[in-house]
Chain A
Amino acid sequence: MKDHSDEGFDSLFEKKKRSGAKLFAILFFGIIIVSTSVYTYLSVGVVRDRMLVAKSQVEGAAPVDPSLIDLMKEKAWVESRLKMAAGDSVGLSIDLEQHTIQLELKGVVVMNSKIRDFSTSGFFKRMDGNVYFAMFGSPLTIQKFESSIEKNPFKVVIAPKNEAEAEAAVTKKDSIPDENVFWTVKLDRDFELNIQGIDSVAESQSKYKLGKGFEFKRNLKNIVNSFEHIVKFKKPTYTPEILISIPENEAKAILRALPRNASVTIRI
């Protein structure tokens, strides 16, 4: 009779290991699916809450006549730009209807750029007339800037000791770095405006692959944020956003020209 007791014991151990892996898989996927489902439910809920808050702010206002909404938007747009012109500093006007983004100074358009591409959150697509006017009826104010390049680069230079040192400093030339230009501003009516500089779609995609571009960093931030919210059992946050793509040099010029608390006028 052959003794199979050792073999039997090993196979039992193998089985245990296999069932352990199975258990891990079931548990892991269970946790992932449950937490993702709860997170999804809450994520949709916050959009609804945000809409309801916006609606409650305009409660009591007379309903807007749908046949006049375009004219009313036009009036709000011009009125808002006039209000912005009363300020002394550079303001930004964004017309998503005409696909233009402009820098304005005292009512004079000092720079005009054609928008290459844009997208807006569903929140803006579902706004009714009164919410629209509460949101865009007057200039918005920038509250926070975040950018991939320095907003106002300033170099500190120590004066040369003599003529020879001064000449040496003149011959030394700085190289121009390859910059990815994208910036985000938080506006006072609780939404974000994202501007990305793209000179071509191919360039934008290659930056995504290299992990340098705006979309890549934004997606990574979203994943990390979502994960953090799930781990900490926190309700997700929802900030509607507008994403605009314009040529890189213009994105840079606008970023550098805008004061920290600049006014912004938007027409959607």
Chain B
Amino acid sequence: MIRTFFINLAILVVGILFFTSMVLFAIPALQESTVVLPGIAQGESGSGDGTVNQASLEKDISKLQAKLDKLTPADAYIIINTSENHFYLYKGKQLIRQGLCSTGKNERLVSEERNKEYVFYTPQGVKTVKGKQKNPVWAKPNWAFIEEGLPIPPPGDPSRFESGTLGAYKLTLGDGYMIHGTIYKRFIGQSVTHGCVRLLDEDLEAVYNALQVGSKVYIY
């Protein structure tokens, strides 16, 4: 009885193994095989329609390549990798500086009463430096108070303004997003911000000096 059971089990296992190996190896190999599919093997006949030749193709390619190359700014620009929290400062195709940064924490903050919602992420795409400022003062928005469990002060209240929090420089990118410094240096390299890009002091200075108003900021 037991013997028969094991024999049947062995038959089942061998059958399943056979089927599995066919699906994993034999069938894909046959699908790739040109012996089985001889009629559709690669091969061109004729010498084209005569409208294209090597010289005209080479000319077209160099024209198109030049057009593509022109899309890369000749001046300084910055690339932000939000996944790895890394920045790359370029001039043309030359890398000038790279290092760690901090970007948005991908978080939705819901107020205790559930009537307000704030989304913290760094938007991807191409941005432009809209403005530059030394020794910026941070005007704390409402979410900064909600996040700390504090009551929201009225607009213009002195508790809304903080010096030094944004570091020595800020570059504005529009829609409230900025590149700035930080007092929380231990968090550099992590996704912890409310959407802005934070840099270490030396990196910030280099970026501030290299980028001008109108410079491109590529965020992905």
Using a CB–CB cutoff of 8 Å, the interface residues on chain A facing chain B are 17-18, 20-21, 24-25, 28-29, 32, 36, 39-40, 43-44, 47-48, 51-52, 55, 62-69, 71-72, 74-75, 78-79, 81-82, 85, 88-90, 103, 105-111, 121-122, 125-129, 152-166, 219, 222-223, 226-227, 238, 249, 252-253, 256-257
Contact in complex: B61, A222 (CB < 8 Å): no
Q: Which chain A residues lie closer than 8 Å to B34 at the CB level?
A: 122, 126
Q: Is the CB of B37 within 8 A of A256?
A: no
B1-22 interface code vs A (CB 8 A; 1 in, 0 out): 1001001100110010011101
Specify which chain A residues have a CB less than 8 angstroms from the CB of B4 in the assembled complex.
Answer: 17-18, 20-21
Residue among B23, B58, B64, B81 facing the most chain A CB atoms (10 A cut-off) = B23
Tell me the count of chain B residues lying within 8 A, CB to CB, of chain A.
Answer: 74
Nearest first, the 9 closest Cβ-Cβ pairs linking A and B are: A107-B71, A122-B32, A65-B48, A62-B49, A253-B83, A160-B149, A63-B46, A257-B220, A166-B149
Q: Is B100 an interface residue (CB 8 A)?
A: no
Q: What are the residues of chain A within 8 A of B146 when measuring CB–CB?
A: 159
By a CB distance below 8 angstroms, the chain A residues around B114 are: 158
Main secondary structure of the interface of B (DSSP, over half): mixed
In angstroms, how far is the closest chain B Cβ from the Cβ of A212? Answer: 18
Q: Which residues of the partner chain A approach B8 to less than 8 Å between Cβ atoms? A: 21, 24-25
Residue from the list B32, B67, B72, B112 in contact with A159, Cβ < 8 A: B112
Cα A200 to Cα B4 in complex, Å, equals: 46
Q: Are A157 and B108 interface neighbours, CB within 8 A?
A: yes
CA distance A155 to B43 in the complex (A): 54
